[in-house]
């Protein structure tokens, strides 16, 4: 009797022999046609094997290899608030170290404009705001105001952004053969088991502090966003009144009497910060709007009150849908001691 042919994805085999990866368990011996479209029930038929994901230390290595850039701009022709808004759009996209503004506008007025800019902008479209860079306005002379990134003292924001992009792509490559819902679980556990909450100073809170395994909501939400985005899944950064979290879209959540035989997709809330603080794994996942706001209120020092527009993109899950999503753990066998 011939033995069954084994199909072991190259991402798994590379992970097993490469010391630059950290183990996470997934299934093995899966035919390639099932790898692309398999549902959870089909995965449960197969033996589990350890794959390995990129260790956090890799992020620090990338930061040390990407050179610093001399980005110190000088602006002479800023005339009004709209000009300043255009400047901030460019600043949060290209991430200069500082901007010298030669103008008769007062620092107080510039600060008012900056506050209005934050009210107008959304994290979903300007993800560097408050998650990677933190620009402060300082008056240096009667006609000179300095807009300077005060978030990091060792690494520039542009170094962090480039390092994070490479890190996320390498991480996504190590789990690229997993189906969407399993990718979300692996990324969630990768962060949940390895990080602690810390917000004693701004540097601790932002994603640039990833290599120290200590972040706040700004950094947690940005890190999750980048890893999920690099894994080719729809994801959003959500900014609330005083908190940051994520929405992620999952397809094929469940098949029920209403949509039997049809693919379904929904945006769901992922709030790693609150789950880590409360030590409640997937505590926020799949909650209704009211239940979520009640859940985050347990933390005490932030309220997480998103706008109605942001709430509109996250739908409430039925108990069956949530149970089906969490059931994918049966085909992963994730364990904290296996995450390095």
pLDDT in tens, 81-107: 999 999 998 998 899 999 999 988 888
> Which residues belong to CATH 3.30.110 in the chain?
70-149
Whether 238 has a pLDDT exceeding 80, the answer reads yes
For the beta carbon of residue 226, count every other beta carbon within 10 angstroms.
25
Say if residues 250 and 285 touch (Cβ distance below 8 Å): no
Whether 261 has a pLDDT exceeding 70, the answer reads no
Say if domain 70-149 classifies as CATH 3.40.50: no
Whether 27 has a pLDDT exceeding 70, the answer reads no
Residue 254 has what pLDDT? 44
Pairing of strands 144-149, 98-102: antiparallel
What whole-number distance in Å separates Cα of residue 297 and Cα of residue 295? 5
Whether 120 has a pLDDT exceeding 90, the answer reads no
- The owner of tokens 């990338």 is 62
pLDDT tier at 202, thresholds 50, 70, 90: confident
Least confident piece of the model among 25-29, 139-143, 171-175, 298-302: 25-29
Residue 252 has what pLDDT? 52
Averaged pLDDT for residues 247-252: 78
Pairing of strands 235-239, 98-102: unpaired
pLDDT tier at 70, thresholds 50, 70, 90: confident
Residue 123 has what pLDDT? 53
What whole-number distance in Å separates Cα of residue 161 and Cα of residue 147? 19
In terms of DSSP H, where are the helices of the chain? 10-17, 32-37, 40-43, 57-65, 81-94, 107-120, 157-174, 180-194, 202-205, 217-230, 272-278, 289-296, 308-312, 319-326
Q: pLDDT per residue over 285-327, tens digit each? A: 888 777 888 888 888 777 656 654 565 566 677 777 777 777 7
Gyration radius of the chain's alpha carbons: 22
Whether 284 has a pLDDT exceeding 80, the answer reads yes
> Which residues belong to CATH 3.10.620 in the chain?
165-338
Residue 325 has what pLDDT? 78
Percent of the chain with pLDDT over 70: 70
| CATH class of the region 165-338 | alpha beta
Least confident piece of the model among 197-211, 238-252, 310-324: 310-324
- The owner of tokens 């084994």 is 6
CA-to-CA dists, residue 83 to 101, 136, 328, angstroms: 12, 18, 50
Residue 334 has what pLDDT? 45
Query: Could you tell me which residues are beta bridge partners of residue 239?
Result: 244
């Amino acid at each position: 009797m011939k033995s069954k042919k084994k199909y072991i994805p190259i991402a798994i085999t590379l992970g097993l022999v490469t010391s630059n990866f950290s183990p996470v368990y997934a299934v093995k011996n899966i035919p390639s046609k099932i790898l692309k479209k398999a549902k959870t029930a089909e995965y449960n038929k197969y033996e589990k094997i350890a794959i390995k994901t990129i260790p956090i230390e890799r992020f620090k290595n990338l930061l040390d290899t990407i050179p610093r850039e001399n980005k110190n701009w000088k602006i002479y022709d800023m005339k009004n608030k709209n000009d300043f808004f255009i400047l901030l759009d460019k600043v949060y996209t290209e991430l200069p170290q500082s901007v010298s503004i030669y103008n008769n506008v007062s620092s107080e007025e510039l600060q008012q404009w900056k506050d209005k800019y934050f009210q107008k902008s959304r994290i979903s479209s300007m993800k560097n705001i408050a998650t990677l860079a933190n620009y402060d306005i300082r008056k240096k002379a009667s006609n000179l105001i300095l807009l300077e990134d005060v978030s990091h003292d060792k690494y520039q924001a542009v170094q962090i952004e480039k390092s994070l992009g490479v890190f996320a792509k390498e991480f996504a490559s190590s789990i690229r053969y997993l189906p969407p819902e399993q990718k979300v679980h692996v990324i969630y556990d990768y962060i949940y088991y390895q990080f602690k909450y810390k917000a004693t100073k701004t540097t601790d809170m932002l994603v640039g502090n990833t290599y120290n395994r200590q972040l706040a909501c700004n950094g947690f939400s940005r890190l999750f966003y980048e890893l999920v985005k690099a894994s080719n899944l729809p994801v959003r950064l959500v900014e609330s009144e005083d908190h940051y979290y994520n929405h992620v879209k999952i397809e094929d959540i469940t098949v029920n009497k209403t949509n039997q035989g049809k693919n379904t997709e929904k945006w769901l809330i992922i709030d790693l910060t609150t789950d880590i603080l409360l030590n409640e794994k997937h505590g926020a996942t799949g909650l209704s709007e009211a239940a979520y706001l009640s859940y985050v209120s347990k933390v005490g020092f932030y309220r997480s009150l998103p706008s109605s527009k942001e709430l509109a993109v996250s739908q409430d899950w039925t108990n069956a849908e949530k149970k089906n999503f969490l059931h994918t753990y049966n085909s992963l066998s994730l364990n904290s001691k296996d995450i390095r």
